Structure 1
Amino acid sequence: MREALASWHMGRVFYAYRTHPWNGRVVSQEAMATWLDLNQAQLSRIESGKSPQDLSKLMRWAHSLKIPADLLWFKLPEARQVTATAVAARPPAEPPAPKPEASQAGGLLPVVINGRAVLVPVDAETIAASGLSSFTGHLADESARATEQDPMSPLNRRDLFRGGIAAIALPGLGLDELQHVAHALDDAHRYLDGPVVDYFRRVLEKAKCDDGALGPKKTMPVMLALLDAIESQAREVKPHVRRELLAVGADGAEFAGWLYRDIQQPQAAVFWYDRAMEWAQEADNAAMQGYVLLKKSQMAYDERDALRMLTLAQAAGHDRWHLPARVRAEVTQQEALGRAMLGDPLDVVRGQLADAETLLTNAPEDTPDALGVYFTGHTRLVRDAITYTEAGKPSLAADLFSDVLNTGALSHRDTGFFNARRAAALALSGEPDEAAKVGRASAAVAHEVKSVRTVRVLGEVLPTLDHWRSRPAVREFREALTPQQ
């Protein structure tokens, strides 16, 4: 395997993997092709032909085979390693895994399933009601013994995963439901059904809620473990369940793309956005496909690529996607931002912002898990403020930011981010002391939730304040930000 990996030829890696003695017998091309979402003829051509060069495919194949990142000749999203630890019951380096004893909020309890020690999600009430607390110490020892194998080995990771549960504690989780999920992960074709898909959906929604308060690095391990569960089990379920499962997977992959954007890893973000698009297509989820185009447009804004941002927003707004009104409002506002960056007249930009407001005002009440449910009146106003900053109206933008942020309606992480944007608008408006004060508050939140994206925006404020660098408030802001850069 090491020789094959050293050759930088994924086809040779496939062949070495299929014929490795650890398997007991040679894995057929048909079987491996199924794992990789290929057909037998395609796999045969890859093994015998020129070395594949498409990075997105190489990343996807390496991920599917759980190849350790340090053995690859290209960079794999580093948090993949966190996934392994989450599934193999080994605490990741950051953040630390929940302790096995029960807590008020619940956690992951090490238990033995089919002879293997794995982590299962339980809450404090379940532990107390079931008398499990007396066993946690013993089971923690079992979990430690189970991880004496190398958890980064792709074979050990798959073996541990199939007997375990990659999920988090959910309120009201009962032992019957937990047992059903465990059976589904052990025999997906027989047991993975609608209730298990719904369980995965609930895990995803909880992760989204946690993100606003905890930040990306504490949410990421759960998400990657969940996506591993979905991707692995989707190969074995019935066709109609696969479509349901991939619909949840597309939603989760889009969210993973957002998390990687927040920690400023664009290559990994693109990988997950592409995976979200692929799964949405297979699940026949048109709205999610349009939504991913919107997210790619927003990522283009992160990269200051105004033209690509505008054309992606326009593509997202096509009628073929059948987007809900709330998402259409966000797409319309995104197009206004692109036009502002490209220098369109202010009246044109204002007109599109007004259209977005009308769409949002007339949008029906959505369920908590609806697409784009986070796009509220407050979110629209802070996005309007960003647009006015790009249109050369920073004073107007600063007032809008202040109005919304003073309501306290945004999440902890978003408050930090939009305060960074507010600091930028204040600096452009010639308000150095206020910009520095707001920037310091934003930096504190960015440090707490590990939002690299917020730190980047704050870093862009410093050159604007350079003319006032000797002022005490500006010096304090620079000192608060420098350790985090």
Structure 2
Amino acid sequence: MLEALDTWHFGKVLYAYRTHPHHGRVLSQDVVADWLGLTQAQLSRIENGAAPQDLGKLMQWAHSLGAPADLLWFKLPRAKHQAPRRAAAAKTEPIQSGAQGGLLLPVVINGHSVMVPVDARTLAESGLGSLLDQPDSSKEHEAMSPLNRRAVLKGGIAVAALPGLGLEEIQHVAAALDDARRYMDGPVVEYLRRQIAACKSDDGSLGPKKTLPVMLGLLGAIEEHARDVRPAVRRELLTIGADGAEFAGWLYRDIHQPLQAGHWYDRAMEWAQEANDQAVQGYVLLKKSQMAYDERDAVRVLTLAEAAGQPHWQLPLKVQAEVAQQQARGFAMLGDPMDDVERALGEAHHLLTQHEGASIDATPHLSPHYNRANLMLQTASCYIEAGQPARAADLYGTVLEGDALSRRDQGYFLARRACSLALAGRPDDAASVGLAAVELSDATNSLRTKRELARAMATLQPWATRPGPRELREALRA
């Protein structure tokens, strides 16, 4: 069961539960489906298909199975603490920490649950904070009444207010969630854009397991509302949805779930095509090339990077630089001449210099953190693939001495440096760097970092009995 829960795939959890020896016999799909309010065919699709993303359904199924809340990758409502007078609004309990210290509140729209993030300032300014913290207080009615009836959607579930907005604006957002075709407009779209940006900002320090639930809630809200709006607004929603879906793909890469990452990359491409966003389409091809590198699929690394480099995508200069660097990595992996690798890296440096000389970045959401330090780090990975690990280790060390990286990226590239040091025949240095990476990978829940550490450990096998490698092996097993 623990292994199934660690996959973040509720279908696998259901299968593990049905077949667990504790029952004495395998529970049929018909029986479990009936418990969950599903058909046998629906349960079969859940068990064998892509991981379900609807948090409302996940919470319902978890409650039905009695799954311990501390083993789940999302939080359950604390219904047992609610007072009777709040029964009608029971589903407004906080589900998951959101961006900037906020909460996710579930909202039911036309029978579908979507998660809306609310930050701490929103709770204080709208009065929802006192509503949640003091369920038996006489202030409950006063806190809710200013939102008027539009603040309560079908089923009596309270809608969340947006941060930093006044009463009239809060009412406007509530109306937008209730009637997207009439009220979904610029301010609501801009709010969703800001929340995605906040998730990206928080990811480097919080890690994917805290960021991903918020991101999936936002994407659920975008997908739900995009069905019922005017075409111009739908294109706006899909534009920011494509950006968010690409980021969700990255988060799934970080926890090493390539199937889910591929799903969200495909969704990002589909939405970008419908929104006629050329740049994001090329950008997703770049990200797919990078995912192919995670799997060490050299041919796809290069062909996807070359596809991303086609001029019709009209990529901004810094993304073109990243594409050129990715092509260099593909050349190195395929054993092409070092002149080809260096030529592509030189093109990347030239493009990045041009970008740095520009006064305005019109696409800050594409390659938001790509800079000179990132290019040096990726150049180091090219040197590893080209059989020059000592050169790579020196480059990694130069960048890691600064403070340009997030905690998660610091851990990942420490692990990469440990690999390069091991390949260069410096086992004690590799083990020391690897131990620092272990600490950061645990703090940020980055399975991607742990995979690199496993590679380093495999390379250190000839020195397995030395104190440093032995200590690293024990830390990885802990």
Q: TM-score, normalised by structure 1?
A: 0.74
- Among residues 218, 227, 240, which one is paired with 2:219 in the alignment? 227
CA distance in 2, matches of 1:309, 1:111: 39
Shift of the alpha carbon at 1:69?
A: 7.9
Which residue of the partner structure matches residue 443 of structure 1? 438
Kept after mapping to 2: 8 A contact 1:122/1:173: no
CA distance in 1, matches of 2:410, 2:372: 15
- Among residues 421, 428, 437, which one is paired with 1:433 in the alignment? 428
Q: Which runs of 5+ in 2 are unaligned?
A: 1-37, 64-68, 79-92, 138-152
Shift of the alpha carbon at 1:94?
A: 2.6
CA distance in 2, matches of 1:273, 1:103: 23
Secondary structure, aligned partner of 2:273: helix
The verdict on how the C-alpha distance between 1:224 and 1:120 changes in structure 2, with shifts beyond 3 A counting, is closer
The verdict on how the C-alpha distance between 1:76 and 1:408 changes in structure 2, with shifts beyond 3 A counting, is farther
Q: Which amino acid aligns with 2:407?
A: H
Which residue of the partner structure matches residue 194 of structure 1? 186
Alignment of 1:127-138 (within 5 A): 127-129=123-125, 131-137=127-133
CA distance in 1, matches of 2:215, 2:173: 17
The verdict on how the C-alpha distance between 1:176 and 1:439 changes in structure 2, with shifts beyond 3 A counting, is farther
- Please say if 1:242 is aligned against 2:238: no
Which residue of the partner structure matches residue 94 of structure 1? 73
CA distance in 2, matches of 1:449, 1:228: 24
Which residue of the partner structure matches residue 309 of structure 1? 301
Shift of the alpha carbon at 1:183?
A: 1.6
Residues 15-56 of structure 1 show CA distances to partners (whole Å, capped at 9, x for unaligned) of xxxxxxxxxxxxxxxxxxxxxxxxxxxxxxxxxxxxxxxxxx
Shift of the alpha carbon at 1:462?
A: 1.2
Q: Which amino acid aligns with 1:450?
A: N
CA distance in 2, matches of 1:308, 1:269: 16
Aligned length: 400
Q: Which amino acid aligns with 1:94?
A: W
Kept after mapping to 2: 8 A contact 1:216/1:263: yes
Which residue of the partner structure matches residue 318 of structure 2? 326
User: Over the residues paired in the alignment, what is the CA RMSD in angstroms?
Assistant: 3.6
Shift of the alpha carbon at 1:284?
A: 0.3
Secondary structure, aligned partner of 2:103: strand
Secondary structure, aligned partner of 1:436: helix
Shift of the alpha carbon at 1:453?
A: 1.1
CA distance in 2, matches of 1:104, 1:211: 9
Kept after mapping to 1: 8 A contact 2:333/2:386: yes
CA distance in 1, matches of 2:447, 2:118: 32
Alignment of 1:21-60 (within 5 A): none
The verdict on how the C-alpha distance between 1:283 and 1:393 changes in structure 2, with shifts beyond 3 A counting, is same
Shift of the alpha carbon at 1:270?
A: 0.9
Which residue of the partner structure matches residue 276 of structure 1? 268
CA distance in 2, matches of 1:161, 1:388: 59
- Please say if 1:409 is aligned against 2:404: yes
CA distance in 2, matches of 1:459, 1:79: 29
Which residue of the partner structure matches residue 48 of structure 1? none
Shift of the alpha carbon at 1:181?
A: 2.4
Question: In percent, how many aligned pairs have the same letter?
Answer: 52
- Please say if 1:80 is aligned against 2:17: no
Shift of the alpha carbon at 1:362?
A: 0.8
The verdict on how the C-alpha distance between 1:367 and 1:73 changes in structure 2, with shifts beyond 3 A counting, is closer
CA distance in 2, matches of 1:298, 1:190: 41
Kept after mapping to 1: 8 A contact 2:205/2:407: yes
Alignment of 1:330-345 (within 5 A): 330-345=322-337
Shift of the alpha carbon at 1:327?
A: 0.4
Kept after mapping to 1: 8 A contact 2:286/2:304: yes
The verdict on how the C-alpha distance between 1:446 and 1:106 changes in structure 2, with shifts beyond 3 A counting, is closer
CA distance in 2, matches of 1:415, 1:181: 39
Shift of the alpha carbon at 1:211?
A: 0.7
Kept after mapping to 2: 8 A contact 1:280/1:289: yes
CA distance in 1, matches of 2:429, 2:215: 38
Which residue of the partner structure matches residue 32 of structure 1? none
Q: TM-score, normalised by structure 2?
A: 0.75
- Please say if 1:204 is aligned against 2:196: yes
Q: Which runs of 5+ in 1 are unaligned?
A: 1-64, 142-157
Residues 389-447 of structure 1 show CA distances to partners (whole Å, capped at 9, x for unaligned) of 10111011001101101101100100011111010000001111110111111111111
Residues 362-407 of structure 1 show CA distances to partners (whole Å, capped at 9, x for unaligned) of 1134268431121111111101111111011101100110110110
Which residue of the partner structure matches residue 8 of structure 1? none
Kept after mapping to 2: 8 A contact 1:87/1:160: no
Residues 255-314 of structure 1 show CA distances to partners (whole Å, capped at 9, x for unaligned) of 111111111111111111111111100000000110111111111111111111101100
Shift of the alpha carbon at 1:333?
A: 0.4
- Among residues 382, 393, 399, which one is paired with 1:398 in the alignment? 393
